[in-house]
Amino acid sequence: MAKLIKKFSRIAIANRGEVAVRIIKACEELGIETVLLHSEVDINSRAYRMATKTVCIGPAPTAESYLNIQANIDGALGAGAQAIHPGFGFLSENADFAEAVEKAGLTFIGPSAEAIRSLGDKVHCKELAKKAGLPLVPGYQGENQAVNNLIQEAERIGYPVIVKAAAGGGGRGMKLIKSSAEAAELIESAQREAQSAFGSPKVFLEKYLDRAKHIEFQIFGDSTGHVVHFFDRECSVQRRHQKIIEEATSPSLTDELRRKMGEAACAIATLGKYKGAGTVEFLLQDGEFYLLEVNTRLQVEHPVTEEVLGVDLVKMQILTAQGEFLHDPTHVRIPRGHSIECRIYAENPFMGGVPSTGLLGHVEWPEGPGRRYEYGFDSGDTITPFYDPMIAKVIVWDENRPRAIQKMIRVLKDSVVFGVHTNIPYLIEILSHKEFVMGTMTTRFIETYFADPIKEPEMTDVEKKIAAEAMVQLRGGAKATGGVTPVTNSPWASFWRGI
Amino acid sequence: MEIKIRIDGVDHKAQAQMLKGTLWLHVNGRTLTMDAGTGQKSRKKSGAGGSSDTVVSPMPGKVTKILVNVGTEVAAGQAVLVMEAMKMEYTLKSEIAGTIASVGCEVGEQVVLGKTLVKITPKAE
């Protein structure tokens, strides 16, 4: 057994942003050096500054850098790494990449290429689940990808139908088709997004459940392939099929449902000979659950599971890849308290969420008990239009759900991001919404209550006066000493009158 | 920088920074921006500006598909082109009914925020 353990001294990271930082931190704690494989434009990022070594693997477009298999492998080999961590997104669920990494004599930190093929490809996964008798949403997972055929299948299933990228996740390459009139346009759009984001245009169709909750189970297969689950997360708050707020554990599961779904999650993962971290996603509607897909990678929202269980999934992934991680059968894990994650997107919430890019100004993440921040950019870094708009994640933990919601609202209000707009005002409105507070939200929550851009509140008179004074002080005015300034009649105050 | 100010006997604290002519202010749990020159809220700068007879890039990104040609008749709300930014597709639509007068971009082109992509001659009433 001891012979099978290989110790890494240097790990390459085929990713960027906050997850690259997360992986670097895990490596640092394990005494492992890191190599960041980055694109030309990502030199202004925390991961670039933190990594032991950096290798530029290509220009900004993902196809030429982060999705370029050979460039990533060459970069890792050239820098003397023994393993590659793919993070999430990009090549993390690409079986060809996992295979090429192993062929190059490196270790892929994740499940085997075979496991990615059988579980990660949503079409194969459904076939496997069907054989195992697990409940599935009705749909079409065939090989015939002609648009006309897909339209026919959509008609057969009955609208509304959802079209999804077979190789993807995270909302990209995913569209909701409500009627035959828009079917062709949306299927083509999904195929293009799938190609651009995951390198494969393959899509599949599924009946759209209109009042379902999105519940997922974190699973983990140890070095021997023994799979256990680390309980559930609820991610029903989604916009355009992209998760915005996630929490652990779900406020919607009874003990009985939790047990059944956990068993189903372990069953499918075991069938797929799963090693490492993965997620089994379900839809839950009217007390019935349906297996949706398996994500054969670390998940964006993994921190909420870490917070309620007191585990470190990234370190566990690395130890599993080294061949030295075994589940301890005497160690019973029980979730404690409640954890919520909010994804901070660089977008303008008052403009319907259009991306906001540019140079980051002052940034502040207020520290305190039960608060955790995962972010990839500091003040002075540039948010570019080339990649995912998620610039940070805010995670809180508290004794119970109401306390956690209360804490999250406060933390978001105290967080400061200048230079790009963020969805923070939007998140605060969601967290304060009655249905979210009650925990009864479904995947249609956002389209039902937040279809229109949120309204920007008017500035109060006090805020106008503060702004006027800020302008004076920033321009090096007489009051720039930082002391308390009594304002009586600033000439600037008049500018905001009547706005 | 941190701003401290006393208004009507009450002390207020705020974070403020001037970035490219825009004042960014964080006060009472929210972030405000305004144009430092005019003192107007600066949000008009970003996003779907322009008049209704133009389709303007709402963000920096890449044009992935142009659905119309010069002379194409469009209905109000009809999709005219598709852009991609941050790995998501955005379909841009004509606000009015009319005829495409010009197309100011090419497929694959990286465009800046606010660029006029398509001009439309409004349909005569």
User: Same domain for A218 and A301?
Assistant: yes
User: Residue B53: its pLDDT value, please?
Assistant: 85
Does position B123 have pLDDT exceeding 90, yes or no? no
In the listed set A183, A207, A231, which residue is the last one of a domain according to the structure? A207
Q: What type of residue sits at position A200?
A: S
Do the Cβ atoms of A482 and B1 come within 8 Å? yes
| Residues above pLDDT 70, as percent of chain B | 88
Q: Is A177 exposed, middle or buried (0-12, 13-18, 19+ CB in 10 A)?
A: buried
- From the number of C-beta atoms within 10 Å of its C-beta (0-12, 13-18, 19+), residue A231 rates as buried
* A417 falls within a domain: yes
What ipTM, to 2 d.p.?
A: 0.82
Residues A376 and A480 both lie in one domain: no
> What spatial distance separates the first Cα and last Cα of chain A, rounded to whole Å?
73
Q: Is the CB of residue B28 less than 8 Å away from at least one CB of chain A?
A: yes
A386 to chain B: nearest residue by CA? B86
At A208, phi and psi to the nearest 5?
A: -90, 120
**B5·A413 Cβ contact <8 A:** no
- Which residues of chain A neighbour B90 with C-beta distances below 8 Å? 354
Structural domain ending residue among the three candidates A92, A109, A126: A109
Which residue from A42, A18, A22 is spatially nearest to A34, judged by alpha carbons?
A: A22
Beta carbons of B6 and A485 less than 8 Å apart: yes
Chain B residue numbers touching A355 (CB-CB < 8 A) = 59-61, 85-86
Q: What is the pLDDT of residue A39?
A: 97
A105 CB-contact burial (10 Å; exposed 0-12 / middle 13-18 / buried 19+): exposed
Say yes or no: A252 and A168 in one domain: no
Sign of CA dihedral B31, A345, A302, A216: positive
Q: Do residues A322 and A245 share a domain? A: yes
Contacts of A163 in chain B (CB under 8 A): none
Average pLDDT rounded to a whole number, residues A236-264: 95
- Any residues with CB less than 8 A from the CB of A294 and at least 6 apart, and which? A119, A120, A125, A268, A269, A272, A278, A279, A280, A281
Looking at the complex, report in whole angstroms how far the Cα of residue B108 sits from the nearest Cα belonging to chain A.
Answer: 12
- Which of A240, A362, A421 is nearest residue B17 as measured by Cβ atoms? A362
Å from B85 to nearest chain A CA? 6
Domain-embedded: residue A454: no
Nearest-CB residue to A387 (from B11, B40, B86): B86
**Are A340 and A470 found together in one domain?**
no
Q: Are A336 and A400 in contact (CB under 8 A)?
A: no
Alpha-carbon distance A256 to nearest alpha carbon in chain B (angstroms): 38
Residue A493: pLDDT over 50: no
CA B26 from chain centre, in angstroms, equals 23
- E strand or H helix at B79, and its extent? strand B79-85
Q: Are residues A296 and A442 in the same domain?
A: yes
Residues A319 and A410 in one domain: yes
Range with the lowest mean pLDDT among A8-22, A64-78, A110-124, A329-343?
A: A110-124
Mind listing the pLDDT tens digit for each residue in A66-116?
Answer: 999 999 999 999 999 999 999 999 999 999 999 999 999 999 999 999 999
Beta bridge pairs of residue B11: B6
Among A90, A109, A128, the domain-final residue is: A109
Candidates A474, A475, A492, A496: best to mutate against B (most CBs of B within 10 A) is A474
**Whether residue A352 sits in one domain with residue A242:** yes
| Contact status, residue A289 vs residue A283, Cβ threshold 8 Å | yes
User: Is B107 at the interface with chain A, CB within 8 A?
Assistant: no
Domains of chain B: residue spans and CATH: 2-122 (2.40.50.100)
Helices (H), A239-343: 255-271, 302-309, 313-321
The reported pLDDT for the residue numbered A352 is: 83
Q: Strands across the sheet with A203-207, in order?
A: A139-140, A203-207, A161-165, A175-177
CATH number at residue A143: 3.30.1490.20
Instruction: Give the model confidence (pLDDT) of A122-177 as tens digits.
Output: 778 988 998 889 999 889 988 899 999 999 999 999 899 999 988 876 667 789 99
Among residues A90, A279, A59, which one has the least CA distance to residue A168?
A90
What pLDDT is stored for residue B44 in this prediction?
A: 43
Q: Do the Cβ atoms of B27 and A197 come within 8 Å?
A: no
Quote the radius of gyration of chain A (alpha carbons, Å).
24
What CATH number is associated with residue A323? 3.30.470.20
CB contact under 8 A, B88 and A193: yes
Contact status, residue B25 vs residue B2, Cβ threshold 8 Å: no
Residue A55 belongs to some domain of the structure: yes
Confidence of residue A487 (pLDDT cuts 50, 70, 90): very low
Distance (Å) of CA A297 to CA A18, A22, A401: 16, 14, 27
Residue A339 within a domain: yes
Q: What pLDDT, on a 0 to 100 scale, did the predictor assign at position A378? A: 97
Whether residue A193 and residue B79 make contact (CB cut-off 8 A), yes or no, is no
* Within-domain flag for A129: no
Does a structural domain hold residue A118?
Answer: no
Over residues A412-426, the pLDDT tens digits come to 999 999 999 999 999
With respect to residue A218, please indicate whether it lies within any of the assigned structural domains.
yes
> Same structural domain for residues A366 and A270?
yes
Enzyme catalytic residues of A: 297
Write down the pLDDT at residue A167. 80
Say whether A351 and B89 touch across the interface (CB within 8 A).
no
Q: Are A222 and A288 contained in the same domain? A: yes
Q: Say if residue B46's pLDDT is above 60.
A: no
**Is A192 in contact with B15 (Cβ distance < 8 A)?**
no
Query: Quick one: closest CA in B to A464, which residue?
Result: B39
Total of domains in chain A: 4
In a domain, A73, yes or no: yes
HSE, CB side, 13 Å, CA atoms: give it for residue A284: 25
Residues A475 and A425 in one domain: no
CATH of the domain at A102: 3.40.50.20
Task: Examine the domain organization and report whether A375 and A265 are in the same domain.
Answer: yes
Mutation pick from A15, A172, A354 vs chain B, by most beta carbons of B within 10 Å, is: A354
> Does the pLDDT of residue B42 top 50, yes or no?
yes
The residue range of the domain holding A163 is 138-207
pLDDT beyond 90 at A408: yes
